[in-house]
Amino acid sequence: MTNSCIFCKLNSYILENDMAFVIYDKYPVTEGHALVIPKRHVADYFDTTDEEKRAMQELSEHIRDIQNEKLSPDGFNIGINCGEAAGQTIFHVHMHVIPRYKGDMEDPQGGVRGVIPEKQKY
């Protein structure tokens, strides 16, 4: 835990297990956009333990079930930004679980490839 990390300061969660928790994103891309976050302060996903990865995966599936039940999305994007060059702005690893809806963008083909817009279409 660090004093300056906003995720380390949180104490209210949607879901949690021994090693991770889920919150809704403060600036959601779509309705229901959630974050899965390990409880241990670690900046990069690739530095998490196998147990933390499993805990995050378990919660990502659980929040997906909740999103399906409450929001009936048509699809999902799941992603983790690792490093400043990849767009990471909070250096406590967090997995985005983003419900997607038909019509939420004109042409979603290429999905997460859209992080570099001119490379999205292939």
| Residues designated catalytic | 94
Contact assessment for residue 99 and residue 30, using Cβ atoms and an 8 Å cutoff: yes
Beginning with the edge strand found earlier in the chain, give each strand of the sheet holding 15-16 in spatial order. Answer: 15-16, 20-24, 34-38, 95-100, 75-80
